[in-house]
Amino acid sequence: MERYSRPAMADHSHRRELEPRPHRHHYDADMLSVEDALERILAHFSRLDAVDTPLLEACGRVLDEDLVATFDIPPLANSAMDGYAVRSADTSSASSERPRDLPVVGSVAAGELPDRPVPPGGAIRIMTGAPAPAGADAVVPFEDTDEMERRRAGAALDVIGIRTPAEPGDNIRPAGEDARAGEVVLKRGSLMRPAEIGVAASIGRKSVCAVRRPVVAIISTGDELLSPGEPHQAGKIYNSNAYSVAALVERFGGEPRVIGIARDTVKSLNEALDAGMRYDMIVTSAGVSKGDYDVVKDVLSERGSIALWSVRMRPAKPLAFGSLRGPDGRSVPHLGLPGNPVSAMVAFEQFGRPALRVMLGLPPVSRPSVRATLDDDIYNHDGRRVYARVTVYKARNGSYRARTTGNQSSGVLTSMVAANGLAICPDDVAMMSAGDEVTVEMIDWPETVF
């Protein structure tokens, strides 16, 4: 499953060149593979610093300390059921026909401490989670007693009839069964998921030291763009990339900052980049195709290093990547996505997501993939790796099938709406036919709707 074997921590002494190797003759040979492009990109990222993080904000983040239990969990042996704490030996002759009657000498609720032991031949009424009284080695649940009948008959509960023999240890949870005092319950480097959040709370922590979320500036470029909310105008299109990419950033664990639209002028782009420089990464969209690139290239090369790549993939062939120098000397990595809405999303899946994962301290592994049988053909016209938008679904026999989501033009954003995966047609395969097995990188799980 682990496609990228790079360690999570970037080693800056081995930074790769940004520029593709020169002196290639054939245009295709100048194209970078997805893997090469990713490797060059990831060389510019490393794990961010860790900060004290309130527990409820820690989900999806990497723990940067060992969490140690300072006491046993649970702290005392306690009851797993509502029932009666007994000495199991006293119940050996119990049956439904001949319940064993035991005098009830007290009761103990969750959060209380028992005020007396269970005497031989006696019982203490006990609630789930309440500490087991001394002497008791088992709890008999209510349903194995005659408490209900006694209540119905209006009898006092000073005696209880036990109907089932108890074994030593029945329904008693030993102290420290979850964790022992001194034990490391979560190791440094753990990904905080809901279970880890719960464990941290169970040892009494309200915050943990966790790697902070990367903050990503998102800039759209283009004279044709309108912001959603502005009145519609002929000849203009709404800036959808900023929003789809911001949502991806959020989904991958980052914090998006939508800077807005830069017009195709040096001044406007510079202003937007100035606003983005204080963040961990800048993502732009559009302006990286051959005709458009000049403004972007001029501006970016003034501010650091920038390379325009052709990546051997469809969609999302044009990609820019660079490193911008901030006024404080800090350099900020810049990912320049193609403008076409599907290309921008697919490129962000392939390159933005792993970069965010590295900053989060997670291995930059690709999305989980499934093997599925194609319902439709996938064509590969020009030797690039095709990421076809597909809907993966479960056939009646339980196997996965994948059908393409219609028009695969990189401008057809609605083709992403129906998709839950990207089916991969390798660059050296000219066509995959209906019935072929294909690998699909899942962007959502077939059964998951949320």
User: Which stretches of the chain bind ligand AMP, using CB under 6 A?
Assistant: 220, 222, 224-225, 237, 239-242, 285-289, 292, 338-341
Q: Among residues 350, 352, 218, which one has the least CA distance to residue 283?
A: 218
220: left (phi over 0), alpha (psi -120 to 50) or beta: beta
State which residue, 189 or 260, has the beta carbon closest to ligand AMP: 260
State which residue, 127 or 412, has the beta carbon closest to Mg ion: 412
Residue type, 72: D
State which residue, 39 or 292, has the beta carbon closest to ligand AMP: 292
Which residues are within 8 A (CB) of 385 and not within 5 positions of it... i.e. 6 or more apart? 33, 34, 312, 313, 314, 424, 425, 426, 427
Binding flags for Mg ion, 222-241, as an x/- string (CB under 5 A)? x-------------------
Compute how many other C-beta atoms are within 10 angstroms of the C-beta atom of residue 250: 13
SS3 letters across 43-92? CCCCCCCEEEEEHHHCCCCEECCCEECCCCECCCCEECCCEEEECHHHHC
Q: Provide the minimum distance between the beta carbon of 274 and ligand AMP in the complex, in angstroms, as a whole number.
A: 19
Q: Does residue 161 touch Mg ion according to CB under 5 A? A: no
Q: Provide the minimum distance between the beta carbon of 320 and Mg ion in the complex, in angstroms, as a whole number.
A: 13
Measured between alpha carbons, how far is 163 from 245 in angstroms, rounded to an integer?
A: 64
Asked whether 310 and 385 are in contact (CB, 8 A), the reply is no
Q: Provide the minimum distance between the beta carbon of 223 and ligand AMP in the complex, in angstroms, as a whole number.
A: 9
Size of the site for Mg ion (CB under 5 A): 3
Q: Provide the minimum distance between the beta carbon of 439 and Mg ion in the complex, in angstroms, as a whole number.
A: 33
Nearest-CB residue to ligand AMP? 339
Partner touching 405 among ligand AMP, Mg ion, none, CB below 5 to 8 Å by kind: none
Q: Provide the minimum distance between the beta carbon of 299 and ligand AMP in the complex, in angstroms, as a whole number.
A: 14
Asked whether 110 and 81 are in contact (CB, 8 A), the reply is no
Q: Does residue 446 touch Mg ion according to CB under 5 A? A: no
- Structure-token match 């992403």, residue found: 416
State which residue, 48 or 226, has the beta carbon closest to ligand AMP: 226
Q: Does residue 286 touch Mg ion according to CB under 5 A? A: yes
Q: Provide the minimum distance between the beta carbon of 222 and Mg ion in the complex, in angstroms, as a whole number.
A: 4
Partner touching 181 among ligand AMP, Mg ion, none, CB below 5 to 8 Å by kind: none
Q: Among residues 350, 357, 356, which one has the least CA distance to residue 316?
A: 350
Residues that bind Mg ion (CB under 5 A): 222, 286, 292
